[in-house]
């Protein structure tokens, strides 16, 4: 069942749909819901059976923890404890928004949410439907939600992306339109006064550093994906092989594959002369040079071309600039398995 919602203002009918979703969550159901980053696959964070079902449906290893979504900043110290001042500062500044804080978990968080770790990821999302849903599930409740995709695949930024793979496996999909940010939240952790970046995302590191007035350390060895023993860095990947190239090599490769009768889609942020990619079995897509705009459309584009009958998705390597960090991270993971 897909419920369509106009995300900007919720009228009575839409509120009823969110209320129905809240009821389902309270009964242990699984509801896909929109956030400003990507769609989440939500369950009551305190219902261990429902949490286990999410892992099963996603085919995700159980030691790969879920983010707990809260509806108000005042709920932070119910779900977490020993919260450093820097975390409060970031929460006050960026919430609601695409920022996840890794904090010491409180006893209210079940083991299965955190994969047995003593920390929990917490986020207050900015989407009006998500906020309404969170406020309707009742006091001392939160929504544990991974992105609403199968493990290792591209995150969904529309309800249609969710229903394409999960429609029959979950109880409801709340449709709140296309996600505004389009990339997952930035994940930050705190240790002995140092602030670490675990996953680049919707909030640029520079904005976080500005608020904290100190550097954020990129802690590669602590990146979320390496917390899973034996996990491949391949993640956020389309099923069509995706490769990254700088411009001259990108054009050469596309033309070479075209000569072998292979169909490729070439995605660039640079302007290129169309005569350089003239074979009929090459489709060229030009994306924005603005990383915010590029990030908004990236997953939708990958979903679209992954479903189309192309042999390869060839992408121009993103600029090596801080504002492109989240995009570079996702594209490197998407292409890893095929290098
Ligand atoms: O934007 C987002 O963050 C979206 C929306 C739905 O909120 N959620 C999302 O969830 O991307 P998921 O499960 O696809 O990715 C969450 C990441 C995982 O890589 C997980 O390992 C990491 O967060 N994570 C969660 N709790 C953690 C913890 N306690 N310590 C380290 N990493 C953690
Ligand atoms: Mg995910």
Question: For the residues 138-149, what does the mean pLDDT come to?
Answer: 96
Q: Please report, rounded to a whole number, the percentage of residues in the chain having pLDDT higher than 70.
A: 92
Give the class (CATH, top level) of 2-218. alpha beta
Q: Please report, rounded to a whole number, the percentage of residues in the chain having pLDDT higher than 90.
A: 84
CA triplet 28, 34, 40: central angle to 5 degrees? 50
Pocket test for ligand 1, best of 43, 65, 113 (most atoms within 8 A of CB): 65
At 244 the pLDDT is: 96
Name the average pLDDT for the chain: 92
**pLDDT tens-digit readout, 230-283:** 335 567 789 999 999 999 999 999 999 999 999 999 999 999 988 899 889 999
Q: How far is CA 234 from the centre of its chain?
A: 15
**pLDDT tens-digit readout, 150-191:** 999 999 999 999 999 998 999 999 999 999 999 999 999 999
Separation of 321 CA from ligand 2 center, angstroms? 24
Question: For the residues 83-97, what does the mean pLDDT come to?
Answer: 98
Whole-number Å distance between alpha carbons of 154 and 291:
18
At 6 the pLDDT is: 47
Question: For the residues 137-142, what does the mean pLDDT come to?
Answer: 94
Separation of 276 CA from ligand 2 center, angstroms? 36
Separation of 121 CA from ligand 1 center, angstroms? 7
Ligand 1 contact, 114 CB (< 6 A): yes
**Could you write out the three-class secondary structure of the chain?**
CEEECCCCCCCHHHHHHHHHHHHHHHCCCCEEECCCCCCEEEEECCCHHHHHHHHHHHCCCCCCCCEEECCCHHHHHHHEECCCHHHHHHHHHHCCCCEEEEEEECCCCCHHHHCCCCEEEEECCCCHHHHHHHHHCCCCCCEEECECCCCCECCCCCHHHHHHHHHHHCCEEEECCCCCCCCCCEEEEEECCEEEEEECCCCCHHHHHHHHCCCCEECHHHCHHHHCCCCCCCCCECCCCEEEECHHHHHHHHHHHHHCCCCEEEEECCCCCHHHHCCCCEEEEECCCCHHHHHHHHHHHHHHHHHCCCCEEEEECCCCCHHHHHHHHHHHHHHHHHC
Question: CA nearest 10: which of 95, 132, 179?
Answer: 132
What is the CATH topology of the domain spanning 242-338?
Rossmann fold (3.40.50)
**pLDDT tens-digit readout, 203-212:** 999 999 999 9
Nearest atom in ligand 1 to the alpha carbon of residue 121 is: 26
Q: Where are the domains of the chain?
A: 2-218, 242-338
At 8 the pLDDT is: 60
Separation of 146 CA from ligand 2 center, angstroms? 6
pLDDT at residue 85 above 90? yes
At 227 the pLDDT is: 42
């Amino acid at each position: 069942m897909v419920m369509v919602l106009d995300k900007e203002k919720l009228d009575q009918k839409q509120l009823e749909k969110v209320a129905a979703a809240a009821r389902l969550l309270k009964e242990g159901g699984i509801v896909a819901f929109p956030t400003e980053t990507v769609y989440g696959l939500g369950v009551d964070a305190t219902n261990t059976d429902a949490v286990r079902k999410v892992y099963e449906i996603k085919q995700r290893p159980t030691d790969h923890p879920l983010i707990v979504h809260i509806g108000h900043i005042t709920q932070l110290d119910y779900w977490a404890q020993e919260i450093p001042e820097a975390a409060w500062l970031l929460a006050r500044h960026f919430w609601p928004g695409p920022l996840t804080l890794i904090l010491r978990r409180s006893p209210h968080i079940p083991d299965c949410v955190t994969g047995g770790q003593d920390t929990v990821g917490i986020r207050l999302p900015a989407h009006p439907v998500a906020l309404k849903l969170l406020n309707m599930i009742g006091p001392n409740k939160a929504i544990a939600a991974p992105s609403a995709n199968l493990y290792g695949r591209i995150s969904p930024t529309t309800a249609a992306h969710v229903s394409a793979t999960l429609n029959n496996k979950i109880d409801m999909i709340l449709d709140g339109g296309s996600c505004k940010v389009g990339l997952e939240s930035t994940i930050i952790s705190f240790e002995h006064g140092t602030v670490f970046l675990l996953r680049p995302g919707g909030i640029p590191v520079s904005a976080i550093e500005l608020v904290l007035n100190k550097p954020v350390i990129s802690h590669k060895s602590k990146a979320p994906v390496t917390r899973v023993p034996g996990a491949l860095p391949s993640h956020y990947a389309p099923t069509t092989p995706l490769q990254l190239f700088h411009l001259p090599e990108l054009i050469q490769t596309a033309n070479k594959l075209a000569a072998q009768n292979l169909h490729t889609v070439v995605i660039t942020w640079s302007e290129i002369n169309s005569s350089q990619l003239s074979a009929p079995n090459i489709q060229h897509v030009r994306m924005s040079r603005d990383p915010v705009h590029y990030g908004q459309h990236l997953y939708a584009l990958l979903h679209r071309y992954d479903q189309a009958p192309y042999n390869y998705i060839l992408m121009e390597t993103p600029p090596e600039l801080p504002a492109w960090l989240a995009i570079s991270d996702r594209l490197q993971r998407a292409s890893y398995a095929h290098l």
